[in-house]
Structure 1
Amino acid sequence: MVRSSLSGFPELLPAERFAELSILDTLRHTFELHGFSPLETRAVETLDTLAKKGETSKEVYSLSRVNAQAGDKVDSLGLHFDLTVPFARYVVENSGHLVFPFKRYQIQKVWRGERPQEGRFREFTQADIDVVGQDTLPFHYEVELPLVMAEALAQLNVGQFLVQVNNRKVCEGFYRGLGIEDVAGTLRTIDKLDKIGAENVARVLVEEIGTTSEQAEAALRLAEIAGDDAAAIVDQVRSLGVTHHLLTEGLGELHDLLAEAQSRRPGAVRAVLKIARGLDYYTGSVYETLLVDHEDLGSVGGGGRYDSLATSGKKTYPGVGVSIGVTRLLSRLLRDAEVSRPVATTVLVAVANEEDRHRSNVIAQALRERGIPADVAPSAAKFGKQIRYADRLGIPFVWFPGDNQVKDIRSGEQLAADPITWAPPADDLYPRTTFTQGVQSS
């Protein structure tokens, strides 16, 4: 990625943008195969709406207007920093026009005021899928969504990945069974386990959250449990000796999710009970996705079940969603990306002289009408110079209008051709992106 003069706001060269578009096209196609409809929401929300996300609200970019006048309300607005909260607001406002359960995908820019570092940006593209019901939403959607995201990553061929799952009911029920009062604070603290380590987590739980040392130790033992065997996970949790009705419910759901995942996509989904997702609105299954060969990059996606985020007061719209941080994923994949050319143009139509430019335009238009990207040389320079211009751009073919000859400037092969019937090889029609990890598109 091109280093922007503003830290955390990446910019892409044309070849890098083609690489990004190849990822977006694959995601969009996969989502649509599973019945998700496209949606775009506004970039701006009220600060009150954005604050529903919880502690991340401190990262919101607020808006102000230059030369604002008395009575302006722009100071109460901010840029959205994820797509779930705006989507919840959209559902409530447009519920009368939607058919439930409503399945949507959304691919947009978001903004987050955190410290930029590798894989973390202040402006980035996120791809979300969500299913929202009216009043109720069946549990099977909590199973479906991580499997759809796993399929999307498999289509991208990003190498080995792992969708880590947990259930907030397991954690909350376990903490309540221990007698912990600040359940939300405990969840947020456990979610920082990888960042600050077990010793610091235990200290924060005791000194700031108010647990006893024994409660903190038990919470950490729960967080150590991981695996993909559904029955074994349940047995390990029960062996800790804590009981609570919410814990029982969560274990049943986690078991069913793991069992279905092992049946449909073996090895892609693993229970990791330290995954808590430190956002206040999650109520059931939660997910985080890692690239196995790039664990230092951290999570490239996540999400979960939410029951009360979208509500009109009279009706509630429970949902479940997962997202992929496209920009974070791209930042690592671009290290080994190869793009066949940085322009879409397949053919450059040469210009013999400016008086004959119209003839070149007619040939280019005939090619375009058949879906072949074509451009016309910027000037009637010597043909050698026009060929060098095409070569610098990576355009594979040059068309000479005088005798209708087309030249593959890579091999030097030149043949007579008719713009009404000629077509390039399929691999040359559009730029192709290849990653060492295997992402391909055309």
Structure 2
Amino acid sequence: MSKPSPLSGFPELLPAQRVVEREIVASLSRTFELHGFANIETRVVEPLERLAKGGEIDKEIYVLRRLQAEDSDVDSGGNMLGLHFDLTVPFARYVLEHAGKLEFPFRRFQIQPAWRGERPQEGRYRQFTQADIDIVGRDELGFHHDVEVVRVMVEALDALPLPGLSFQVNNRKLIQGFYRGLGIPDVTAAIKAIDKLDKLPSDEVARLLVEQAGATPEQAQRCLELAGIRVADTSFVQQVRELGVGDELLDQGLTELAAVIDGCASAVNDHVRVEANLRIARGLDYYTGTVLEVFMDGYERLKSVGGGGRYDALASDGRTTYPGVGVSFGVSRTLIPLLADGVLDGSRPVPSAVLVALVDEDSRGHSLAVAQQLRARGIPCEVVAHPQKFGKQIRTAERRGIPFVWFPSADGSHEVKDIRTGEQVAADPAAWTPPTEDLRPRVVMKEQEL
């Protein structure tokens, strides 16, 4: 069999890199659980009619198909099946399907892979892991949950060993009310045009506002002035007022955005910032209030590494509507470029903190007994595969990244060696414990120009 070639867009991590991913996921889970979010895991497939909504994403859906099937596999209702491309669509279905067994507001977090058949590039993969949190209500959901969800994700990402992060927040009511107050004929088209400011120059966006949203050149310029407001406090309220546009929806959006900025103020620091950025629009139509995107310092080329907002109709069964607010963080989108650049790495590729040496094959049982004593107290360890000279066994530990080598003796005495410092001391397998930082592999963030 020839050496296999990697599949583009389906990244696989080496053991030390996987340490980083697992620790990141564990840290996110701990923070979410501290705030009372319950973990769920949805199936990887959904009926194709639920996934495909006639949008741009339709051409990127992977369809589930058996090799010998004449047609794509179907569920019991005859629906074709596809792999989910995000966690929002399956979550909406989950809420509808299990609503009678859930307590609302329902607080959920979900960390799972998704699949998207797009052109692979840095930060965009065909298989990737996302971490989502959402709070969903039944028929109504208080605005204070918008503030809460944003703050929870701020705290969750602040706990991670990542470069600096910027939460850039806006409110759809604010921009819709502003455009309405200006008298722009097609508010939705105006939002979609402003959402292109990170891809197109401002004069091109102004042209789109005129041609697609029906704005006058003067109105287009006012829209660009609004989009240029970006501050880390609530001074944006006065800046918007000075633009001279009045509208009831605009007033509500200003109030809500100010509440989010104020609500996160005590959680921000040099590592994680929260800013009002009135350019952020999020082109998806289902957002109705708070909208946000997350950017990582030094990796602006990735565009946003997270985002989300308020949606007042996540799902509906015709009788009941389930509004929600949520934020998604791109685990793979963020970590894989950092791993490739050497910014993050695992402290060692194996979980073992100790390699138990082997004097000879006859003493294997004794070495295994020592290992079992260590494991019984939560110390990961392994016994060397083959009896060799101790120098070679130490080199085995070095290659595997194991910090300690344990030397048992036939007379019942034991010594343990820190192979990094060369220090070797007497030790009791029923009492000795490695330093806390050596007990498990850790995430190491290397100094680098960002």
Contiguous gaps of at least 5 residues in structure 1: none
Paired amino acid for 1:6: L
Shift in alpha-carbon separation, 1:212–1:195, aligned structure 2, 3 A: same
Contiguous gaps of at least 5 residues in structure 2: none
Aligned match of 1:255: 258
Shift in alpha-carbon separation, 1:266–1:136, aligned structure 2, 3 A: farther
Q: How far apart, CA to CA, are the structure 1 residues paired with 2:137 and 2:53? A: 19
Q: How big is the shift at 1:437?
A: 6.4
Indicate conservation of the 8 Å contact 1:53/1:280, yes or no: no
**Which of 410, 414, 417 pairs up with 1:407?**
417
**Which of 419, 422, 436 pairs up with 2:432?**
422
Q: How far apart, CA to CA, are the structure 1 residues paired with 2:112 and 2:46? A: 14
After TM superposition, list the pairs within 5 Å mapping 1:285-296 onto structure 2. 285-296=290-301
DSSP 3-state at the match of 1:195? coil
| 181-190 or 357-366: bigger deviation | 181-190
Indicate conservation of the 8 Å contact 1:112/1:122, yes or no: yes
Paired amino acid for 1:141: H
Aligned match of 1:337: 344
Q: How far apart, CA to CA, are the structure 1 residues paired with 2:208 and 2:355? A: 64
**Which of 69, 94, 99 pairs up with 1:95?**
99
Indicate conservation of the 8 Å contact 1:350/1:386, yes or no: yes
Matched, 1:206 2:202: no
After TM superposition, list the pairs within 5 Å mapping 1:113-152 onto structure 2. 113-152=117-156
DSSP 3-state at the match of 2:315? coil
Indicate conservation of the 8 Å contact 1:157/1:437, yes or no: no
**Which of 398, 402, 414 pairs up with 1:395?**
402
After TM superposition, list the pairs within 5 Å mapping 1:367-386 onto structure 2. 367-386=374-393
| 57-66 or 308-317: bigger deviation | 57-66
**Which of 303, 324, 330 pairs up with 1:325?**
330
Aligned match of 2:178: 174
Shift in alpha-carbon separation, 1:434–1:362, aligned structure 2, 3 A: same
Shift in alpha-carbon separation, 1:195–1:437, aligned structure 2, 3 A: farther
Q: How big is the shift at 1:99?
A: 0.9
Q: How far apart, CA to CA, are the structure 2 residues paired with 1:78 and 1:364? A: 47
Q: TM-score, normalised on structure 1?
A: 0.91
Aligned match of 1:67: 68
Indicate conservation of the 8 Å contact 2:350/2:401, yes or no: yes
Q: How big is the shift at 1:159?
A: 4.0
Matched, 1:24 2:25: yes
Indicate conservation of the 8 Å contact 1:163/1:290, yes or no: yes
Paired amino acid for 2:430: I
Aligned match of 1:110: 114
Aligned residues: 435
Higher helix share: 1
Paired amino acid for 1:24: V
Q: How big is the shift at 1:177?
A: 2.9
DSSP 3-state at the match of 1:107? strand
Q: How far apart, CA to CA, are the structure 1 residues paired with 2:435 and 2:86? A: 41
Cα deviations across residues 320-367 of structure 1 (Å, max 9, x unaligned)? 001111112213432222432111111112223323322222221111
Indicate conservation of the 8 Å contact 1:283/1:305, yes or no: yes
DSSP 3-state at the match of 2:321? coil
Paired amino acid for 1:59: E
Indicate conservation of the 8 Å contact 1:52/1:85, yes or no: no
**Which of 315, 318, 338 pairs up with 1:310?**
315
Q: How far apart, CA to CA, are the structure 1 residues paired with 2:314 and 2:362? A: 65
Shift in alpha-carbon separation, 1:183–1:63, aligned structure 2, 3 A: farther
DSSP 3-state at the match of 1:323? strand
Q: How big is the shift at 1:63?
A: 2.4
DSSP 3-state at the match of 2:168? strand
Q: CA RMSD in A?
A: 2.4
DSSP 3-state at the match of 1:206? helix
% same residue: 57
